[in-house]
Amino acid sequence: MTVRSTVHPTVHTTVRSDERILQSDIFGREQQRAPRADHGWHEEAARRIPVYHRTGVLVVGGGPSGTAAAAAAAQAGADVTLLERYNHLGGLSTGGLVIWIDRMSDWQGQLVIRGFAEELFDRLPADAVAGPPRADWGSRDAAKAAHWAQRTAAYHGVVTWSPTIDPERLKLLSQDLVLERGVKLVYHGWGTEPIVEGGAVKGVIFESKEGRMAIRAEVVVDATGDGDLFARAGAAFDNDIEAADVHHCMNTAWLFGGVDMRRWIAFRAGEPERYAQFMEQGRAACGLFERPFVSWRDDIALFMGPRQTGYSALDVDDLTAVEVRSHHAMRQHLEHYRAHAPGFEQAFMMLSAPQIGVRHARRLKGVDAVLRSRWPEGTPRPDEIGVTPAVSPAFPNISIPYGALLPQALDGLLACGRHISCDKNSHGFMREIPQCWITGQAAGVAAALAAGAGVAPRAVDVARLQRTLQQQGVYLRSAETVAAA
Ligand SMILES: Cc1cc2nc3c(=O)[nH]c(=O)nc-3n(C[C@H](O)[C@H](O)[C@H](O)COP(=O)(O)OP(=O)(O)OC[C@H]3O[C@@H](n4cnc5c(N)ncnc54)[C@H](O)[C@@H]3O)c2cc1C
C-alpha cells in the first residue's frame, strides 16, 4: 500500500491499490499521553460468586458474529446462552452505526455470503434496506455502476450486493431470530474472566448490576470482537498496528438527519472541482475531515470517520480520547456541512454511535489462518467453513478454514468475527460484517456439535460441520466432496 501526506500534518491518505477499495484520510493522535501516574495497587480478595446459569454453548458478545453464532448453535440443537454487555444485538452493525454491509456477492454477481446473512435480508422490511436489485448484481453496465458507485454498491465498475440498512430494524430482527430459536439472551452482562480448568475454557465470569456471577458452559464462543476471552485465557494472539493503515483505526460514527443525499450526490459527482475545493476547505477548517456515505434513507447521511490512528482499543484512556475527539468532529462537521455542502443546509445531529468503532484490537493466532499468500489460489481449504469475495476482481473467491476459529492450544473455546486468525491484509475484509456473520455461524455450529458430542472444538468432525452448515444455507465450494462423505 502506498501512503502519501496531504495538507494536514497529521493526515495520511491511503491510495487505492488492489488491496484497498476506498481512499480514506487517517488522522494521527492529537498528542502523546503522559505516562499514567502510579497510584499503587489494591489487593482484591478472593470470593465465592453465584453460578447464574449452566449452558451447552455460551456466546459472549452479540455483534454480527455472536448473533449468528448463537442463532446457528441453537438451530443445530444446542442449549445456548448469549451474553451482551449493552442493550441490543448487532454490535457495530447497529450500535456502532456501521450500517453499510459490505460486499456479499462476488465479482461475477454470485451471492457467496449466505446462510444467516440471507435469512436476515429475507426478513428485513423492504424499507429498511437500500441497495441494487438482484438482477443487477455483477452488472458491468457503465450507467448502473456509476449510479451505485455513489451509493456504496459498485467498485471496479461492477455492481455489488453491499446495501445499507436501518440499524433499529436489524437490532429487532437479530433479537427475534435468537429468541425464536430458544436462545437464553442476557443483556447488560459484561464478560470479564474466562473460567479455565485443565487447559480448557469451562465458562465465563461476568459483571452486571447484580455484581459478579458465573456462567458454566461446555463450549464458549468468544465473539467480543476484541478477543477479550481468549486473551485472558492465555491463547496466543496478534495485535500489530500499522500507522496510516485503516486496519486498526478507531472512531465513533454518527448520523446527520434532515439532509438531501440526492443533491449531495449530484454535487459530488457533477462538480468535481468544486467538490475537491470543498474537501480541502473542510480539512483546513476542521482538521479531521470526512465525507458522508448514503444510508438506507435519502434524508439521513452516514459518517464512518474521521479515522484515527495511534490509539489502542484496549486502553481506557485512548477509548475515551477517541470518543471525545469524534464527538468534537461531529459538531465541527455539522457547522461546515450546513454552511457549504449542497443538501446539508437543514442537517441536524441525529445520533452518535452508542458503540465506539473498533476495527481491530487482537487477532487470534489460530491452528490455521486466512492468508494474503493464498488469495490467488481460489481452491477450497479441506476444512472450508465459508467463502468470502476477494478484495478485487484480480483475485478469485477466498476460502475460510475452520482452523482460523481454533486457538493453537486452548480448548473449550472458538473465536469468530473480527478477531479470527488472519494476517493483517486479509483482516481488511475478514473483519467486515458479512464475513463476521459467516465465521459466527460456523463457530456456532461447531460449538453445538462439540457440546453435543462432548468433544473439544478441535475434534469436531469437519465433514459433519460442513454438512450442517450447508443445511443452514451456507455456501461451501467443497459441496460435492462433503455430500459424498
Ligand atoms: C468505523 C468502522 C467502519 C466500518 N465499515 C464497515 C463497512 O462499511 N462494512 C462492513 O461490512 N464492515 C465495516 N466495518 C467492520 C465491522 O463493522 C466490524 O468489524 C464487525 O461489526 C465486527 O463484528 P463482530 O461481531 O466481530 O464484533 P462487534 O461488532 O464489535 O460486536 C462485538 C459485540 O460484543 C460485545 N462485547 C464486547 N466485549 C464484551 C464483553 N467482554 N462482554 C459482553 N459483551 C461484549 C459488544 O458490545 C458488541 O455488541 C467497520 C468498522 C468500523 C469500526
DSSP-derived secondary structure for 414-436: EE-GGGSSB-HHHHHHHTSHHHH
60 Cα–ligand 1 center, Å:
13
How far apart, in Å, are the Cα atoms of 468 and each of 64, 74, 217, 394, 472?
Answer: 20, 12, 22, 32, 6
- Atom 31 of ligand 1, residue of closest alpha carbon: 63
Give CA–CA dist 136/280, Å, rounded: 35
Give me 64's grid cell: 454480527
DSSP-derived secondary structure for 337-353: HHHHSTT-TT-EEEEE-
At position 403, the amino acid (one-letter code) is: G
Q: Is the Cβ–Cβ distance between 84 and 187 less than 8 Å?
A: yes
DSSP-derived secondary structure for 288-303: S----EE-SSTTEEEE
Length of the chain: 485
Is the minimum distance from the CB of 59 to ligand 1 under 6 angstroms?
no
| Ligand 1 atom nearest residue 307's Cα | 1
* Tens-digit pLDDT string for the chain (485 aa): 323 333 343 555 554 344 445 567 888 888 788 889 999 999 999 999 999 999 999 999 999 999 999 999 999 999 999 999 999 999 999 999 999 999 999 999 999 999 999 999 999 999 999 999 999 999 999 999 999 999 999 999 999 999 999 999 999 999 999 999 999 999 999 999 999 999 999 999 999 999 999 999 999 999 999 999 999 999 999 987 766 677 789 999 999 999 999 999 999 999 999 999 999 999 999 999 999 999 999 999 999 989 999 999 999 999 999 999 999 999 999 999 999 999 999 999 999 999 999 999 999 999 999 999 999 999 999 999 999 999 999 999 999 999 999 999 999 999 999 999 999 999 999 999 999 999 999 999 999 999 999 999 999 999 999 999 999 999 999 645 444 44
- The answer to whether the peptide bond before residue 457 is cis (omega within 30 degrees of 0) is no
94 Cα–ligand 1 center, Å:
9
- Atom 17 of ligand 1, residue of closest alpha carbon: 92
Q: Is the Cβ–Cβ distance between 414 and 219 less than 8 Å?
A: yes
CA dihedral 333, 335, 337, 338 (to 10 degrees): 150
Is the minimum distance from the CB of 102 to ligand 1 under 6 angstroms?
yes
Is the minimum distance from the CB of 444 to ligand 1 under 6 angstroms?
no
- pTM for the predicted model, two decimal places: 0.95
Q: Shortest CA distance to 14 belongs to which of 29, 28, 24, 27?
A: 24
Q: Shortest CA distance to 229 belongs to which of 211, 207, 202, 204?
A: 204
307 Cα–ligand 1 center, Å:
15
Tell me the chain's radius of gyration from C-alpha atoms.
Answer: 22
| Beta pairing partners, 352 | 254
| Ligand 1 atom nearest residue 88's Cα | 49
Give me 181's grid cell: 430459536
How far apart, in Å, are the Cα atoms of 156 and each of 87, 96, 215, 393?
Answer: 39, 27, 48, 8
Write down the pLDDT at residue 320. Answer: 97
- Atom 12 of ligand 1, residue of closest alpha carbon: 432
Pocket test for ligand 1, best of 247, 427, 433 (most atoms within 8 A of CB): 433
Write down the pLDDT at residue 246. Answer: 72
Write down the pLDDT at residue 481. Answer: 47
Write down the pLDDT at residue 13. Answer: 57
Write down the pLDDT at residue 439. Answer: 98
| Ligand 1 atom nearest residue 357's Cα | 53
**DSSP for residue 45:** P
Give CA–CA dist 96/356, Å, rounded: 6
Give the DSSP H/E element, type plus range, for residue 212.
strand 211-222
Write down the pLDDT at residue 26. Answer: 85
Domains in the chain (CATH in brackets) are 22-30+49-124+166-247+359-485 (3.50.50.60), 250-356 (no CATH)
Give the DSSP H/E element, type plus range, for residue 156.
none
Write down the pLDDT at residue 349. Answer: 98
Give CA–CA dist 314/237, Å, rounded: 14
Write down the pLDDT at residue 28. Answer: 86
Q: Shortest CA distance to 167 belongs to which of 120, 113, 214?
A: 120
Q: Is 18 exposed, middle or buried (0-12, 13-18, 19+ CB in 10 A)?
A: middle
**Cβ atoms within 10 A of the Cβ of 284, count?**
11
**Cβ atoms within 10 A of the Cβ of 2, count?**
10
